Amino acid sequence: MLYLFSYSDLNHSLFVFLALFFVLFYEAINGFHDTANAVSTLIYTRAMSSNVAVVMSGIFNFLGVILGGLTVAYAIVHLLPNDLLLNSTSKNALAMIFSILLAAIIWNLSTWYFCLPASSSHSLIGAIVGIGITNAIMKNASLVDALNIPKMKSVFLSLIFSPIIGLIIAGSLIFLLRYYVNNINKNFYQIHMTPLEREKIDGKKNPPFFIRVALILSSIGVSYTHGANDGQKGIGLIMLVLIGIVPSSFLINLNSTTTEIICTKNTIHQLEKYYLTYSKNTLQKIENKKIINSCNFYEIITNINKTKFLLQDISNYNTLDGEKRLQLRHLLLYISDVIDQTINIINLDKKDKNFLIKSKKNILKNIEYAPMWIILIVALSLSIGTMIGWKRIVITIGEKIGKKEMTYAQAMSAQITASFSIGLASYTGIPVSTTHILSSSVAGTMLIDGDGIQMNTIKNIALAWLLTLPISIILSSFLYSITLFLI
């Protein structure tokens, strides 16, 4: 890590330090902004004291970042088209990175101050989109070329539909629990009690043992999956910073072993054979002709051969100069995109599909990576942030969504829905909003139980949900323009 600050240019080292500081600050804000999602139900059902709950959440957020992988991290990196990220001057790269971070931080702090459970994911993605749009306007380029539209479409759809899905699933769980208690096991009635009702009827402050265990485990699930999803966004941001400011050191995983490089060479060779086989059978297989027309068969084979030539005598990526590292990154990303198009355009059999998916993973290992020190500092920032500043949002989720006090069943259903939804999103590499999934899940349980919801709070949350993307886009666009002018 320290070698990043060893440049003779003091300004360069200072900019790297400031960029890393802003990323870690953003991640700490993310921690205390989103802690409420994991601990509010525990606190308001008296399953655990607030201090213990927050520490536990911090620990499992840390573990989520460490063990969560990198699929979401690179979903963030790839939101900016490769050409925009790598072809910018150092001045543009700095302006771009600081504008993204400042826009996300300003909006997150503002919504936290006003106790609004807004989405850190929305603000970050909106800020990235704002940079792409502004860059296109300044260069008089096409918006389609300036933005990674396919990746952006899948991210936007997930951000829009995940709260709706959370509301429906959590509400369905409450419905099933009601049915179970009413028709199968009436002795399980305690699960639909509020803590106050439990104290009045049973004379006990804490929930029953098995319900308490379920609440704690579901809260751990939310904390872990939050770390795995939102923590990866911090990792993606740092990689964005480093690729933009010190590209020669981070374009390719310079720590790849000789075995991994050989694996990449073999994969490229197998892909060449695979696509050459398609060219021979084009006349017999009309479906396969689509891939030739869509992706330009000659270009595919040419770029595969260029990649083979670059890797021909390579056993260590450190021997490649900066220009060749950049070229290799472009080629590997191109081949990865071709594989995606092949899978999407052709009705492949299971064997071919598995081969292409495995080939894509082998190729992306060279460019979708993060050094362990990055993962560790993001994990620490998120977990430390989790342990401070959490009370403001906890009050909103715990007291201001429903008209009545939260029952054990409502808390458990909301937490289970959030942990499974966010966990699935992390596994598939989709950045989602922990805040919106959990708050909508709580609202869904309240609606099904007939307790009613506080419309003012829901309107405020919905307003924050609707405004986050456009405001983040405008903020980052404004900051980018100003920063370019100043530096």
DSSP single-letter state for residue 285: -
Q: Around 367, how many Cα atoms within 13 Å sit in the side-chain half-sphere?
A: 25
Instruction: Tell me if residue 402 falls in helix, strand or coil.
Output: strand
Is 323 within a domain? yes
Q: What are phi and psi of 453, to 5 degrees?
A: -125, 155
Is 42 within a domain? yes
Domain co-membership, 173 together with 30: yes
Domain co-membership, 240 together with 379: yes
Domain co-membership, 385 together with 463: yes
Q: Identify the CA nearest to 135 among candidates 102, 101, 87.
A: 87
Boundary of a domain, candidates 322, 344, 364: 364
Supply the pTM of this predicted model.
0.78
DSSP single-letter state for residue 186: G
Is 1 within a domain? no
Domain co-membership, 339 together with 402: no
CA distance 164 to 421: 11
pLDDT higher than 90, residue 409: no
- Ranges of beta strands (E only) in 339-473 are none
pLDDT tens readout for residues 189-246: 788 888 888 888 888 888 888 888 988 998 898 889 888 888 888 888 888 878 877 7
Is 376 within a domain? yes
pLDDT tens readout for residues 292-342: 444 567 788 889 999 999 998 888 999 998 889 989 998 998 898 888 878
- Ranges of beta strands (E only) in 347-392 are none
pLDDT higher than 50, residue 425: yes
Domain co-membership, 243 together with 331: no
Q: Considering its fold, how many domains does the chain have in total?
A: 2
Boundary of a domain, candidates 333, 364, 395: 364
Domain assignment of residue 424, given as a range: 8-248+371-486
Domain co-membership, 355 together with 375: no
Boundary of a domain, candidates 317, 343, 364: 364
Is 2 within a domain? no
Domain co-membership, 122 together with 185: yes
Domain co-membership, 284 together with 298: yes
Domain co-membership, 191 together with 67: yes
Domain co-membership, 295 together with 392: no
Is 3 within a domain? no
CA distance 487 to 483: 6
Domain co-membership, 85 together with 179: yes
The alpha carbon dihedral of 282, 287, 291, 292 has a sign of positive
Domain co-membership, 52 together with 72: yes
